[in-house]
Chain A
């Protein structure tokens, strides 16, 4: 329950509050795209927000850690000194009505980028961001956040967490930053009555029970990966099922591998940070020509070590999977998280 209190706002007052958010920050919320696609996107009006949605195509990292990001700029005019400057983004952003699994994903990225030395680009964007979760009451067909302890309701990590009740939303305030989002609209928010809090608890339990039987065998996979007890043959066989698209890394809320590349010349140019995927063949290719992960199976193993091992969980404060189910949709081959953990548990394809 929100440390800084809990409130309710009626459905009819909600757009007014959203309007107030729009007046002071960039608001990113679920928006309808083509057909049935919905994705977190910049919204311009309260009516753009798609409150009734299941999942977003894009995870929040698309805004906190963009796919291509200018980090440095330089120029050198007429043989003078080289002028070099970093490029920061300090836009105020409110991520509104985002899924608990996606909030959990951000918390993993927070830990990854905060490890010494701290990543200043992510830190600046993150400092200027507020996370307003919309608790999940309708799991999607590919969802398994319950296995990853990342939903459908969060106990912590959010600035605000909204729960849809009848005719109103419960608003749990988790942080000072969350409280500040209500400022100026206090009249729209009533302290939450006991009944609302009880509803929230009930909804959380009901939603959890709606998930199918164990979708992702994390416990077994964790153990075997941590102790390096998954047979090489199984990694090799799963390697054959990877079609090398890199999509799993790009849709995953916690993946953050990147490469850098320069554009331009010394007289004028910039350095970009670009998303990368450890499943790519040349990801680990060294300048000498040696490739320590030349085999697909080795790359698949490296990915799941990073996602599921205790060794990495220690570094990141959590496992690298929030059960959002995006990899189930996006994997071109056949190596989504539930499939892989099931095979590891079985010890076979």
Chain B
């Protein structure tokens, strides 16, 4: 039958679609009006899902590095080599010398087995995915902040909202399914507040546009909450504490720090106070900021202690970038959680999984993806793209070069695979059965429409083979069996079965917090998130460095990603023409005119730490005083805007910095 229902493989919205199959090939994508998220619509990426499925740049055979080159090999040789190298690193240096990276774009079943392999056969808790960086590690996973990624109405909350705040997110670029709903809400008269230093295409629909100077978002968040409380007092004791903590923040100080007029802040506060179903939409534009925890602490104060579960306070909706980042986290691809967010420090959880998996679970804390690079000697990577996701690409590359063994399992020769000792060809999302869990915790069936090409195999089968060679045989008749095991061990997924999924167009919504104790989890940081204005100011600009260079996480951000690169149209739309020789910086026309700069000109950007060459593109959507750097081009800017480790969480981030701009 030509039409096979599938979730879209691209972002975290989880739109449903149909893959059109003919003569053993995936040749088209059709929309699904019955799907509760998609409603018969798709975005530019989703419409090319069939090309991601039928990717012509596929890996079809295992590859082993001999000398300088990766050369085709057979499965037995490749798997034997992987097993023997991993075992020898484990014997010589211990299990903690091995790291495992799971995948935000592979299935739950694949991720679950990988985590089981890591903790069971390999005996290491170093299991993570580089993509988890955007899921605000150190905050999202803490019990008291789990509401920040809570299940619930999800995208439908946009339809029900009486006020929508877009906090540093451009849904038109990042989550078009959400943008469609925001647009319709705006057309119905729902006020939209856009907080962004680069306005989105929805800006014209916005009732209010607040453009804070990059780096001053904490002050803005605090001031907004203060303004809201002026109109309608703090809703909870925690909020009262918050209000007290920022009592010194005056509207004048806020205006001076952020560049946002005090009137506008007041208006926004009034709207927030008078709305009864406000929704604050945010994505990695917020979570990858150094001050993310402060901002979220502030926005949470609007909602009272538990973020609005009673439905009368603003709700926070986080949309993730990947089709299964949420699922990977649910499956325990997190250094300090077992599947289902069970804490590693919890004795009974460990015992339960040890019994189910037939192997003791180490209590030694695991390293995060960014900590692993440089600390482990061997790395196993499944469908992850740290060289695309992590802020510090140069260090990551260096760390990879220092590994004594790197094995990558993926369907394409990703940038990290190019550096591997062994590459194993996996299956695409249209070639194996499994499930994805979207950002709103919607579990949907991924279906095998066509067999994997050449010698490529479904990832779960590869993991089982590998685990067997490592001394812990795994046997499943099918992915449905893997899900049955997940369901038996994870209360959140207890109701999930392939039958139940088939019976429901739109899959099943799960509650990942189900059955999880409120006990504090071990995290890589000891920091308790709390609001502080100490780090709150934007970097200082002066006559020598009058502009702020800031990373743009949204515009054309899919161009370098493996899935998008499989599509002719997406390559043309997201990364047209020849690869850019120089990073492209955007600035407003008015600012450019002041400097005598023209569109397309080569420029030099200088900061207190270094300089770079770039080509200039004029874009009036960018706020005055700001130079925008697409996040994908950050490697070129490393001298000017070096990645830094967050002092409390140790998470690597890019902070806006003061720069000057000159003609070449």
Contacts and interface: CB of A to CB of B under 8 A. Distances in A.
Nearest to B187: A334
A266 interface: no
Contacts of A241: 183
Contacts of B39: 329
Interface in B7-39: 16, 18, 20, 22, 27-35, 39
Nearest to A39: B3
Contact of A66 (B22, B41, B183): B22
Nearest to B32: A37
B235 interface: no
A67 B50 contact: yes
Interface string A275-292: 111001110010001000
Contacts of A263: 56
B474 interface: no
A305 interface: no
Nearest to B16: A34
B41 A247 contact: yes
Interface string B529-551: 00000000000000000000000
A32 to B, nearest CB: 10
Nearest to A280: B573
B56 A33 contact: no
B183 A245 contact: no
Contacts of A67: 20, 27-29, 50
Contact of B33 (A37, A274, A334): A37
A235 interface: no
A245 B42 contact: yes
A33 B179 contact: no
A143 to B, nearest CB: 14
A97 B5 CA distance: 23
A259 interface: yes
A62 B204 contact: no
A188 interface: no
Given A245-B47, A334-B187, A329 B569 contact: no
Contacts, number: 135
A333 B180 contact: yes
Interface in A276-320: 276-277, 280-282, 285, 289
Interface in A55-88: 57-58, 62, 66-69
A9 interface: no
A37 B30 CA distance: 11
Contact of A240 (B35, B51, B201): B201
Nearest to B51: A68
Contacts of A259: 568-569, 572
A247 B2 contact: no
B172 interface: yes
A261 interface: yes
Nearest to A296: B201
Contacts of B31: 57, 247, 251, 329-330
A10 B31 CA distance: 35
Interface residues of A, number: 45
A243 B180 contact: yes
**Secondary structure of the B side of the interface?**
mixed
B452 interface: no
Interface in B184-208: 184, 187, 201, 204
A244 B200 CA distance: 13
Interface string A35-49: 111010110000000
B600 to A, nearest CB: 9
A39 B30 contact: yes
Contacts of B30: 39, 57-58, 62
Contacts of A34: 5, 16, 32, 34-35, 505
A218 interface: no
A165 interface: no
B204 A330 contact: no
Contact of A37 (B34, B41, B50, B576): B34
Given A282-B573, A334-B183, A33 B3 contact: yes
B34 A42 contact: no
Interface string B596-633: 00000000000000000000000000000000000000
B41 A330 contact: yes
Given A245-B43, A263-B56, A289 B22 contact: no
A53 B604 CA distance: 63
A250 B3 contact: no
A72 to B, nearest CB: 15
A243 B47 contact: no
Given A240-B201, A332-B41, A274 B568 contact: yes
B577 interface: yes
Nearest to B22: A66
B42 A332 contact: yes
Interface in A1-52: 31, 33-37, 39, 41-42
B412 to A, nearest CB: 15
A245 B10 CA distance: 14
Given A34-B505, A241-B183, A282-B576, A329 B47 contact: no
B593 to A, nearest CB: 20
Contact of A333 (B22, B50, B183, B577): B183
Contacts of A42: 1-2
A317 to B, nearest CB: 27
A285 B574 CA distance: 13
B506 interface: yes
Interface in A195-245: 240-241, 243-245
B32 A69 contact: no
B47 A247 contact: yes
Given A34-B32, A332-B43, A243 B16 contact: no
A285 B18 contact: no
B176 interface: yes
A332 B27 CA distance: 22
Interface string A117-146: 000000000000000000000000000000
Given A240-B201, A330-B31, A332-B176, A246 B568 contact: no
Contacts of B2: 41-42
A68 B32 contact: no
A104 interface: no
Interface in B475-528: 505-506
Contacts of A41: 1-3
B264 interface: no
A331 B568 contact: no
B373 to A, nearest CB: 35
A243 B202 CA distance: 10
Contacts of B32: 33-35, 37, 57
A258 to B, nearest CB: 11
Contacts of A58: 3, 20, 30
A33 B17 CA distance: 11
A66 to B, nearest CB: 5
Contacts of B33: 36-37, 57, 329
A315 to B, nearest CB: 25
Nearest to A244: B44
Contacts of A39: 3, 18, 30
A285 to B, nearest CB: 6
Contacts of A244: 44, 172
A33 B28 contact: no
B176 A245 contact: yes
A245 to B, nearest CB: 5
13 contacts: A33-B5, A41-B3, A57-B31, A62-B20, A67-B29, A240-B204, A241-B183, A244-B44, A246-B47, A250-B29, A285-B572, A285-B576, A330-B42
Q: Which 7 A-B pairs have the closest CB atoms?
A: A35-B505, A67-B28, A35-B34, A34-B505, A329-B40, A261-B568, A37-B34
Interface of A: 31, 33-37, 39, 41-42, 57-58, 62, 66-69, 240-241, 243-247, 250-251, 259, 261, 263-264, 272, 274-277, 280-282, 285, 289, 329-334
Given A247-B41, A289-B577, 14 more contacts: A34-B16, A37-B33, A39-B3, A66-B27, A66-B28, A243-B201, A245-B46, A250-B47, A259-B568, A276-B569, A277-B569, A280-B569, A332-B43, A332-B177
